[in-house]
Amino acid sequence: MPALPRSTPEAQGIASTAVAEFVAALQSTAHDIHSLMLVRHGSVVAEGWWRPYGADHPHSLFSISKSFTSTAVGLAAAEGLLAIDDSVVSLLPDDAPALVSDHLAAMTVRHLLTMSTGHAADTLEAIDRGDDDNWARAILAEPVENSPGTAFVYNSGATYLLSAIVQRLTGERLLDYLTPRLFEPLGIAGATWETCPRGIDVGGWGLALTTEDVATFGQLYLQRGEWNGAQLVPADWVDAATSAQVSNGDPTVPDDWTQGYGFQFWRSLHGAYRADGAFGQLCFVLPEQDAVLMLTSGLTEAQPALTALWEHLLPAFGPGPLPEDDDAHGALLATLERLELPHPGGGIASVSAVADRVAGARFVLPANDAGFESIAVDPSADPAELRISTADRETVIRCGAGQWVEGAAPFFGSGIMRADSTPTVPVAASAAWIGETTWRARIQYSRTPFALEFTLRFGDGDAAVHVTQSVSFGSTELASVTGRAG
């Protein structure tokens, strides 16, 4: 893992009290932040992880991945493998349709980078309509309704094509191409990237790195691609990638989504730019303040985190060092050390009178979209156990009382993968009685933004089971059924 130097906030011109106010604002308005790292003048001045998340845990980054894909394209261009005004069909000739429309023929790498391909909507859904596992062929077969370069339309399919182009030109996965050129010089180890069925990194999402890994990437961009005396990424590429290459709204409106879009980077207010992923994965680079802020999250809406940044941190960046404030800095460190996601029931360990009656009882569930066939709990065990049966497996999840107990489970949720085809992944779980007959468990998928909440209300011989997902690209309601003891 990278080792950015550490410093106090005051030494880098920020009051510890201002950072503490920022953290408090995140706690009160954004609710489901998983980690933060603030870098000023190249030194980490504040860092924290909300348990059960940790410093050495890679986190799913979603569309922050796009900014790394853009970097790979910039490196390939610098090596003379492509030019950004090359046509897409010339770079992916085997994937082009038999009949190439004028608009498709005019589409270039630049249009992929700037999300201005001419498509009326994201082409990602095309992969589900394809006749085979060739995602590039399916995307290129989509109608290009408008002239490329005329309008911004967010398009993860475009980023996948960039990854496919880099792999075709280099003979390497994006991950392998970037490793000696970017990851190893930055000290990033253990990066993973999801692939398509043909073994091409998906590009627009699927990268997992630690918080400090991404903060280091942000610092590299802040330094215009220079690292320890070596120019890892051409400075002119950094400048172009983080400039407003295409309009995405009225820039006079004070909104972080209308300041322009670069090469897979978003422009932000106050001269900043960011790599931005779904559910609040945010790496802000603030050149005027010489600062980087990295957040991982599980947010339904990112705006509260952005508001906290602009209201609490932005005014706090001073021009020079401040006098050290040991008391304020000590209080900040204590706050960061105590960070923890809330537990069901507020973390109060209580036991219902019905605990012994339901301990181990198996409740058979009617058909439901989540694929749960039965559920059982032993709330009196230490730690409590939640037992979930699907068509192909039974999973036992141990749940702490007022604490997170680590384990592993398949992902049962919607919007990413199905439980019946997914290996187990790390989880941490906590549970509590929230009423005389109601027991609730929270299963935190602790390398992702996602959590599942199981609420069981026990009756006479039955249990009402309600399962929700914290955030999702689809419905957050997974199951609401009544199971019978059997």
- CATH number of residue 399's parent domain: 2.40.128.20
Domain that holds residue 18: 10-57+210-337
In a domain, 65, yes or no: no
pLDDT (0 to 100) of residue 347: 61
Angle at the Cα of 155 from the Cα atoms of 77 and 178, rounded to 5 degrees: 35
One domain for residues 433 and 332: no
Residues 6+ apart with CB under 8 A from 275: 63, 64, 66, 67, 214, 217, 218, 264, 265, 266, 282, 283
226-227 vs 230-231, strand pairing mode: antiparallel
Rounded Cα distance, 24 and 398, in Å: 31
Backbone angles phi, psi at 108, to 5 degrees: -120, 175
One domain for residues 396 and 430: yes
One domain for residues 370 and 322: no
One domain for residues 311 and 389: no
One domain for residues 318 and 413: no
In a domain, 97, yes or no: no
Which among 411, 364, 410, 372 is positioned nearest to 388, based on CA atoms?
372
Return the exposure string of 437-467: e unless at least 16 CB atoms fall within 10 Å of the residue's CB, then b. bbbbbbbbbbbbbbbbbbbbbbeeeebbbbb
In a domain, 70, yes or no: no
CATH classification at residue 31: 3.40.710.10
Rounded Cα distance, 275 and 213, in Å: 13
Residue ranges, the chain, pLDDT below 50: 417-420
Boundary of a domain, candidates 318, 337, 356: 337
Evaluate whether 218 touches 284 at the Cβ level (below 8 Å): yes
The label of the residue with tokens 């911004």 reads: 152
Boundary of a domain, candidates 297, 312, 337: 337
Rounded Cα distance, 73 and 109, in Å: 9
The label of the residue with tokens 């550490």 reads: 6
- DSSP helix/strand/coil, 340: strand
* DSSP result, 103-125: HHHH-BHHHHHTT-SS-SS-STT
Task: For the chain, give the longest Cα–Cα distance.
Answer: 72
* DSSP result, 57-106: --EE-TTHHHHHHHHHHHHHHHTTS--TTSBHHHHSGGGS-SS--HHHHH
In a domain, 38, yes or no: yes
Domains of the chain: total: 2
Any idea how long the chain is?
A: 486
One domain for residues 330 and 349: no
One domain for residues 401 and 477: yes
In a domain, 179, yes or no: no
Rounded Cα distance, 102 and 39, in Å: 47
Return the exposure string of 280-313: e unless at least 16 CB atoms fall within 10 Å of the residue's CB, then b. bbbbbbbeebbbbbbbbbbbbebebbbebbeebb
Rounded Cα distance, 353 and 463, in Å: 16
In a domain, 94, yes or no: no
One domain for residues 331 and 353: no
| CA 365 to chain CA centroid, nearest Å | 33
One domain for residues 327 and 426: no
In a domain, 107, yes or no: no
CA dihedral 105, 110, 112, 117 (to 10 degrees): -50
One domain for residues 294 and 385: no
Boundary of a domain, candidates 337, 369, 400: 337
Encoding tokens for residue 437? 């007959």
Q: How many CA atoms lie within 13 A of 165 on its CB side?
A: 32
In a domain, 407, yes or no: yes
- DSSP helix/strand/coil, 312: helix
One domain for residues 332 and 273: yes
pLDDT (0 to 100) of residue 2: 65
CA dihedral 87, 89, 90, 92 (to 10 degrees): 120
One domain for residues 352 and 333: no
Q: Which helix (H) or strand (E) holds 333?
A: helix 326-337
